[in-house]
Amino acid sequence: MKDYRLSHLEVRKSKNYDQLIYKKGSYDDLIWQAEKPVLSYEIQRLKKRIEQIFYLDFGCGTGRILKFLETKVYESLGVDISESMIALARAKGVRSPMIVGDITREDTLGSRKFHLITAFRVFLNSGSEFSRQMLQVLVPKLDSKGVFIFNMHGNIWSYRFFTKLWYLLHGRTLNTISFWSAKKLAEDNGLKLVRWYGFGFVPKIFYRIFGARNMYFLDSIIAKIPFSKYFLYNLIFVCKKVSK
């Protein structure tokens, strides 16, 4: 598999995020609509104990999450390895300062502390070693009262299991992870899981066949069923820093 660092430097990759992956009405755009209330709720919880929230969006990409949250916090900052993605974020009107760089090789954040750190669509495809390196830099920058929120858009026990099987039969690979593996990744790097959410029981192809609105409504109902989270495609983890 191509080095995750290199793959995200391509201009084509950057444009795909906005023009294909997150175009209005796409499956991933609908997943994003389900993620927004979760992020808003977590911000509200955080504001009950922290008046001025300093926020870092790691792997900010084209600014989807950063733009959504920057008006809800006191100060925000984005970091991404791709200059072309950050250029698109600026073109979309993201007001927050953004840093281009790989903090696992050069820690440009220094001793700064943040009450909120988000990392979406970062860890699933980056590989275990690169993920560990990123977390080793990021976790020490999380304030003791803050939260670290990340997602995994490829739960192996969701419908993605069958997609992965189809890929394997055709000699291809598809990255997946389970709830327990994601939880272990957090715990092995100084974080403690305090809450988690999920969305996406209905296979993506059903959205095309039966209509996105109908399937989104069905997914919204399923997501509220106890224990259904273990079988949902997109998982969101809310973690705190382990006290030493």
Per-residue confidence (pLDDT) for residue 10, from 0 to 100: 61
| CB-based contacts of 215-224 (< 8 A; 24+ apart in sequence) | 216/30, 216/33, 216/34, 219/34, 220/34, 223/34, 223/197, 223/198, 223/199
Q: Can you say whether the dihedral through the CA atoms of 12, 16, 18, 23 is positive or negative? A: positive
Which DSSP helix (H) or strand (E) runs through 215?
A: helix 212-222
Tens of pLDDT, residue by residue over 138-184, are 999 999 999 999 999 999 999 999 999 999 999 999 999 999 999 99
Tell me which residue of 134, 7, 23, 175 sits closest to 82, measured CA to CA.
Answer: 7
The pLDDT value recorded for residue 17 is 77
Nearest 5°: phi and psi at 119? Answer: -150, 95
Residues lower than pLDDT 50 in the chain: 1
Q: pTM of the predicted model, to two decimals? A: 0.94
CATH superfamily placement of domain 4-241: Vaccinia Virus protein VP39 (3.40.50.150)
Closest to 60 (Cα-Cα) out of 39, 77, 45, 74: 77
Predicted pLDDT of residue 225: 96
Q: Quickly list DSSP for 160-196.
A: HHHHHHHHHHTT-----B-HHHHHHHHHTTTEEEEEE
Q: How far apart are CA 25 and CA 140, in angstroms?
A: 38
What is the pLDDT at residue 4? Answer: 59
pLDDT at 233: 98
Question: Cα torsion for 74, 97, 135, 122, to the nearest 10°?
Answer: 110
